[in-house]
Amino acid sequence: MIGVEYYLDTLDFLYHALEEKINSQLFYNELSVKVVNPVAREIFKRLRDEEMANVMLLQREITTIEAKQLPVHKIIPRLKV
């Protein structure tokens, strides 16, 4: 069984990574719209799409972790079960 600290640290890390990937995706999307060179545009679109795949992977992992229920005594250690 995982501990509360591990659970929260992992979620914090994943949420931070998710935020960074979303920001990267937005950045690459903006560049793909602004750039004139078609080769560069395709590169930025590909990078944007790769970031989107990472966003979806992180969202699935976060959902999986959040769906796991922790026993109450792990959340509130002094509680007698």
Percent of all residues in the chain with a pLDDT value above 70, rounded to a whole number: 74
pTM above 0.75, yes or no: no
pLDDT at 21 over 80: yes
Chain length of the chain? 81
Question: Domain-by-domain residue ranges, the chain?
Answer: 4-75
**pLDDT for the residue numbered 10:** 85
Name which of 56, 62, 77 is nearest 5 in CA terms.
Answer: 77
**pLDDT for the residue numbered 81:** 53
**pLDDT for the residue numbered 75:** 54
Name which of 5, 4, 9, 18 is nearest 69 in CA terms.
Answer: 4
